[in-house]
């Protein structure tokens, strides 16, 4: 990957946002989702992002995940200025460094769990053998051994989210972004998912950024960032886990 962006010289954070804004629409109808967010996340952190609906927490995470672009401000990922990357370069950033888990799972319908998990590896150009091997391993990690050939329609919500997590981690990403990963699950399933994420963070050192509005889910994280009206309202370590 050839990144012709500006490198910073001071000690590198994994993720650094400075003065990031996001405006939807324009003129009178303009909606300011982010009003100048500064945020720094280091490698190995487990950050819960909280805040009421409309506070900008999801928008911020989509920008961090390169699924969306900011209106102004600067975003450095591993010292690379993401704002200056082309569309394809941002795609490659997702391909090689980032993993996603969504509230709505976003799995391919009528497609087996195994093939869903293999999907990111296809775009990485992995061989069929390697794809299968790694996908099976990822499914084992999330506790879905034996469910490889089931399609999303044949799996429960909790199982679907596990498939989604397997898909996110199969590439061995640097950061895993989870947008309300437990929003559609009951509390028992939710805690299982959080245990899983926790394990990934602890054992494999995956940096996790998780958006949630449930206090007891956020309690699993090492650090809690609260958004309000498009700004970071508070940012403190979670005393219980820190």
Partner 1 sequence: MLWNTMILALREIRRNVLRSVLTILGIVIGVAAVIIMVTIGGGATVQVRQQIAGMGSNLLMVTPGKRLGPGQSTDNVPFKEADSRAIARDVPAVAAVAPVSSQSIQAIFGNQNWTTQVSGSNNQYLQVTNRSIRSGRQFTDSELRSGAAVCIVGETVIRKLFGGQEALGEKIRLQKLSCEVIGLLAAKGQSTMGTDQDDIVVIPLSTFQRRIAGNQDVGFIQVSVEEGVATEKVQNDIVRLLRERRHLSSSDDDNFNVMDMKEIAQMLTGTTRMLTALLSAVAAVSLLVGGIGIMNIMLVSVTERTREIGIRLAVGALESEVLMQFLVEAVVLSSFGGLAGIVLALTTSVWLAGILRVPFVFNGGIVMVAFLFSAAVGVIFGYFPALKAARLDPIEALRHE
| Three-state DSSP state, 161 | helix
Among 5, 23, 67, 228, binds partner 1 (CB under 8 A): 67
User: According to CB under 8 A, which residues from 114 to 173 bind partner 1?
Assistant: 115, 119-120, 122-125, 167, 171
Distance CA 152, CA 163 (A): 9
Indicate which single residue of 83, 111, 184, 238 sits in contact with partner 1 (rule: CB under 8 A). Answer: 111
- Least separation in angstroms between residue 130's CB and partner 1 is 13
Nearest CA to 58 out of 89, 31, 94, 22 is that of: 22
Stretch that binds partner 1, among 65-73, 154-162, 198-206, 217-225 (CB under 8 A): 65-73
Contacts of residue 130, Cβ cutoff 8 Å, sequence gap at least 6: 121
Among residues 35, 71, 96, 214, which is the contact residue for partner 1, using CB under 8 A? 96
If the CB atoms of residues 11 and 110 are measured against partner 1, the closer one turns out to be: 110
Q: Are 38 and 92 in contact (CB under 8 A)?
A: no
Task: Sketch the per residue contact string, 32 through 51, with partner 1: x for CB under 8 A, - otherwise.
Answer: --------------------
Cα of first residue to Cα of last residue in the chain, in angstroms, is: 35
Strands 207-211 and 175-179: parallel
Residue with tokens 């498939």: 163
Q: How far is the CB of 23 from partner 1 (least distance, A)?
A: 14
CA distances from 4 to 7, 78, 81, 117, 122 (A): 9, 13, 9, 31, 26
In the complex, minimum distance from the CB of residue 219 to partner 1, in angstroms, rounded to a whole number: 27
**Structure tokens given for 82:** 């993401």
How many residues lie near partner 1 (CB under 8 A)?
Answer: 29
Q: Considering just the CA atoms, what is the radius of gyration of the chain in Å?
A: 18
Which of 107, 142, 166, 185 forms a contact with partner 1 (CB under 8 A)?
107
| Candidate list 4, 91, 187, 234; residue touching partner 1; CB under 8 A | 91
Closest CA to 232 of 47, 39, 75: 39
Question: Of 25, 53, 88, 203, which lies in the binding site for partner 1, with binding defined by CB under 8 A?
Answer: 88
Structure tokens at 23: 């405006």
Query: For binding to partner 1 (CB under 8 A), which residues are involved?
Result: 62, 65, 67-69, 87-88, 91-92, 94-96, 100, 102, 106-111, 115, 119-120, 122-125, 167, 171
């Amino acid at each position: 990957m050839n990144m012709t962006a500006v490198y910073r010289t001071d000690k590198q954070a994994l993720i650094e946002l400075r003065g990031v804004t996001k405006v939807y629409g324009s003129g009178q109808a303009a909606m300011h989702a982010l009003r100048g967010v500064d945020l720094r996340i280091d490698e190995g952190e487990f950050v819960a992002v909280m805040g009421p609906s409309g506070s900008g927490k999801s928008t911020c995470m989509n920008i961090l995940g390169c699924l969306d672009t900011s209106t102004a401000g600067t975003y450095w990922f591993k010292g690379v200025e993401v704002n200056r990357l082309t569309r394809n370069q941002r795609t490659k950033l997702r391909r090689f460094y980032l993993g996603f888990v969504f509230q709505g799972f976003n799995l391919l319908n009528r497609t087996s769990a195994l093939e869903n998990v293999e999907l990111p590896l296809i775009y990485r150009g992995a061989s069929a053998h390697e794809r299968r091997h790694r996908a099976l391993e990822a499914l084992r990690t999330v506790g879905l051994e034996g469910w490889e050939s089931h399609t999303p329609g044949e799996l429960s919500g909790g199982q679907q989210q596990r498939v989604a997590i397997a898909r996110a981690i199969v590439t061995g990403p640097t950061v895993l972004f989870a947008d309300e990963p437990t929003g559609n699950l009951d509390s028992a399933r939710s805690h299982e998912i959080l245990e899983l994420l926790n394990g990934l963070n602890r054992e494999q050192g995956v940096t996790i950024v998780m958006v949630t509005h449930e206090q007891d889910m956020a309690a699993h994280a090492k650090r809690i960032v609260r958004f309000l009206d498009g700004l970071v309202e508070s940012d403190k370590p979670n005393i219980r886990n820190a």
